Amino acid sequence: MNNYPTDKTALILVDPFNDFLSEGGKLWKWTQETVEGSGLVSNVKALLAAARRMGIQVIYAPHHHTGEGDYLNWKFLSPTHKGTFEGNFFEKGSWGAEFHPELKAQKGDLIAQNHWTSSGFANTDLDFLLKMHGIDHLIIMGMRANTCIDSTARFGVELGYHVTLIKDAIAAFNWAEVEAVTGITFPNYGHAMYSTLEFLQILESQTIN
């Protein structure tokens, strides 16, 4: 069984925006099935509560909040980010770009610089924050499974972190996207993958021992 020292472990919550996770969000019609089907919000909420109670660092890794012209004249613009620009997802100053009301940051949590594309590490201070807090074990959860989750987890491994994925605390536009990550990509590079219940039990067993 993997060991998670509380002073060297961080929960990384990626893109818990209303646009993804709340009814009325701009992406809700695509994400609703997997968000509700996985119990993502309640699972993430339980993980956050346990981490804060045990002194495990919580770090948010949010996507860039879009504004008019942000992606204009980019040399290379992926279809995903063309859609982000045209749809104004996570729009600056909007309700959709706020964190889900049950998953808001609290005192003691850290918020990394916003990432422009998929990786929470690329061109942000996430790696710096982790190193400055002596963290080498990452627990990844949030949105969207086959883009920001997969990219952030993979980048973390490349940087030398021990990376764990919580398989029922991620969601996407459909189950195939989730299963591509949990069944194919992550098992080929990640270190561990658990359900929320399994991971909470691991943390509890460490406390008892």
Mean pLDDT, residues 159-173: 98
Q: What was the pLDDT predicted at 89?
A: 87
Amino acid letter, residue 154: R
Q: Is the pTM of this model over 0.75?
A: yes
* Structure confidence by residue, pLDDT tens digits, 109-131: 999 999 998 999 999 999 999 99
- Of residues 28, 22, 26, the one with CA closest to residue 172: 28
Domains of the chain with CATH codes: 9-208 (3.40.50.850)
Q: What was the pLDDT predicted at 209?
A: 53
> Is the model's pLDDT at 44 over the cut of 80?
yes
- Of residues 22, 8, 114, 103, the one with CA closest to residue 54: 8
Distance set, CA 69 to CA 29, 74, 85, 91, 115 (Å): 26, 10, 8, 12, 17
* Structure confidence by residue, pLDDT tens digits, 140-151: 999 999 999 999
